Structure 1
């Protein structure tokens, strides 16, 4: 097939279970101009270079054709900091980072370990006697969403609302061409606005009645950069709430499915659980929860692998393709928990590298450690399982497993 249809084929739901042959085709092409005027990049070294190039913008207002800007971005009142370039991105990110991690708050993530371990243990105990259960619904989703809601100060009773908004937002971003999934840009925008207003109400409550949660810390922080405005708090809180569990759900589910498929790797980690930190890094390379970054724009004409990408054109960086580039990784299609020099792109790179990566790593390590003793007697009811519609945030929609003995 023609290389100018690659993104259409990557986005097609029929290829969600195994997009990797398409990524190999992309790497052979180098840089692939698409029919809609966008450019796909799938080779490791080129992606890393672009992620560190100040001439590549994350602010969609720099697009030459406004029609290429998603409707939610055109209509939202305040983008989150990932939608800005420096210096505004740097200011907002530093304000958000102060109460979350080092150097100002170095112990916040480590302090969660005991709580995460307890929640994971309780969830595993919940399906101990079941002959069949859903790894996503019963474990991979409730663990990170419970953690991020507690961290931010979102009441546990509101988790179903959070889940409904998040599902609608994610589903509305990536519609398969030519298909009606029941989700629209309008419904996604409505969910974004509803979640933002919900966060705004929590912000107002924390101003007069602060707690020890992250949202209270963001509201009352008095660092050298000043304070976040209410709109900025709404945008930042919404980003943290969505990103704080969506990617980790997929990371845990992808990890469980990978170990169910690869008994040798499973046995290695079962017998040597101290290898789990490295195994999680390999999962982030092998089956990354974030497959591509669609919202980049050149601020000048860029020459990439003998192709000139014009200023203002949509630039799509396919991280999952770079993670399997044989020019960077030996035997890249093999899952190797012992892989060394594993500088994957699972959390991006450069100034926009994933804000919540430390928390996601801890959650995935603890989650897989809790699952390992139980995977030996389980197998997937359906393989491949049904996947979520998004080609950006890729993971099983459900992962039904049943006991074999």
Structure 2
């Protein structure tokens, strides 16, 4: 049996807790051809160029939302959704949601009062984005157990590990079909009795029907529900794990809440929620001296690119201050990362994910007294593409009340 390639070793669960030494090895050969004929691209500049290259395609066989389409179809669908969601530069709907997100976060932390040990995944990082995306879309939260099962099946069908797993791919296809049928029923309910949610805004906008077929509307609603919570769970959990390993940064957020903004950007670079995306070459493409033939499958190793030393200084150092524009004296592009991909497929949900994570980490830092890890490394989810802890057991002395912190803040302000 042939020795496993570096990319195959990255897929191995034994390396899930720390794949970054393997990424360093992977970057020594910027474009690697795998045994199955696929290619892996691992350097920042090559990935950044490819996400803008019209010669690579995001399209797959089945309709699974706008992120798996190419321009001009992609642009048409995305513009339609953005009319009611808000583009990344002016996320009006998400700005209006911030008080509601704070309310959700406060409620989840209040539930921890009286406890000194929790699993931050099950008790916080999962219910937060699920609750938020349900409210945004207008999905009944009581249906969460149903789409939780579907989401788990979809995750198992994603990434390099699922490429040769027919059972996982069939399970994902079945889950996608079930989710589409669920939204078919929900869309009709919102059409008959619209509310203030995103789904109602879409179905009552006459322009939506001129751009999206009923199947496309179902697929894109399904995508928003799935993508709107799966990756954010990882971002929050990876973020808290990193902060617990860097207590000085955690303390600084507690004292300077605005410091969470560059911290989240550094987390997107340092411990991103998505490690790979796949594309298909539409033409022969020269990448770093290697010709990738038309029709070849390409994996963009985003996590590797964001830690490329040719792009960022001390890439394996967690340093939120690198995102301070005043420090860009050597490399003004250093603050750029691939945590939300880039190009036309820049993450649609980036404004919501940023807001949720900023609020979540700030409140956890403020309210958990002396938090520490109970397992390091913690157990990870099996999927290598959507990488994050499956559980994050944490112990703390107590949960500070919101009233106590407000009183303390008022005293300091005097």
TM-score (norm 2): 0.89
2:284 is the alignment partner of 1:301:
yes
For 2:50 and 2:163, locate their aligned partners in 1 and report how far apart those are by CA, in whole Å. Answer: 31
Match of 2:155 among 161, 170, 190: 170
For 1:404 and 1:333, locate their aligned partners in 2 and report how far apart those are by CA, in whole Å. Answer: 31
Residue in structure 1 matched with residue 190 of structure 2 by the alignment: 206
Residue in structure 2 matched with residue 231 of structure 1 by the alignment: 215
1:1-400 to 2 correspondences below 5 Å: 5-60=5-60, 74=61, 76=62, 78-102=63-87, 106-174=91-159, 176=161, 184-223=168-207, 226-294=210-278, 296-340=279-323, 341-400=334-393
Contact 2:109 2:124 in 1 (8 A): yes
What root-mean-square deviation, in Å, do the aligned CA atoms of Structure 1 and Structure 2 show? 2.3
> Greater shift after overlay, 170-179 or 48-57?
170-179
Residue aligned with 1:289, SS: coil
Residue aligned with 1:48, SS: helix
Residue aligned with 2:93, SS: coil
Residue in structure 2 matched with residue 71 of structure 1 by the alignment: none
| CA drift at 1:152 | 0.6
CA 1:57/1:338 → structure 2, altered by over 3 Å: closer, same or farther?
same
Contact 2:77 2:211 in 1 (8 A): no
Q: What per-residue deviation string (whole Å, max 9, x for no partner) do you get for residues 190-231 of structure 1?
A: 211111110111111122221111111111223498342210
CA 1:221/1:106 → structure 2, altered by over 3 Å: closer, same or farther?
farther
For 1:288 and 1:330, locate their aligned partners in 2 and report how far apart those are by CA, in whole Å. Answer: 18
Q: Which runs of 5+ in 1 are unaligned?
A: 61-73
Contact 2:156 2:162 in 1 (8 A): no
CA 1:335/1:300 → structure 2, altered by over 3 Å: closer, same or farther?
same
Contact 1:379 1:404 in 2 (8 A): no
Q: What per-residue deviation string (whole Å, max 9, x for no partner) do you get for residues 266-297 of structure 1?
A: 22222222111111000000000011112x11
| CA drift at 1:139 | 0.6
For 2:265 and 2:386, locate their aligned partners in 1 and report how far apart those are by CA, in whole Å. Answer: 17
For 2:284 and 2:307, locate their aligned partners in 1 and report how far apart those are by CA, in whole Å. Answer: 27
CA 1:43/1:178 → structure 2, altered by over 3 Å: closer, same or farther?
closer
Q: Which runs of 5+ in 2 are unaligned?
A: 324-333, 399-414
> Greater shift after overlay, 369-378 or 134-143?
369-378
| CA drift at 1:373 | 2.2
Contact 1:13 1:176 in 2 (8 A): no
For 2:289 and 2:359, locate their aligned partners in 1 and report how far apart those are by CA, in whole Å. Answer: 44
| CA drift at 1:241 | 0.1
| CA drift at 1:3 | 9.6
| CA drift at 1:178 | 12
| CA drift at 1:376 | 4.9
Contact 2:159 2:277 in 1 (8 A): no
CA 1:163/1:224 → structure 2, altered by over 3 Å: closer, same or farther?
closer
For 1:163 and 1:359, locate their aligned partners in 2 and report how far apart those are by CA, in whole Å. Answer: 20
Residue aligned with 2:316, SS: coil
| CA drift at 1:138 | 0.6
For 2:376 and 2:117, locate their aligned partners in 1 and report how far apart those are by CA, in whole Å. Answer: 15
Q: What per-residue deviation string (whole Å, max 9, x for no partner) do you get for residues 357-380 of structure 1?
A: 011100000000110024552222
Q: What per-residue deviation string (whole Å, max 9, x for no partner) do you get for residues 29-75 of structure 1?
A: 11111001000011000000001111111113xxxxxxxxxxxxx4x
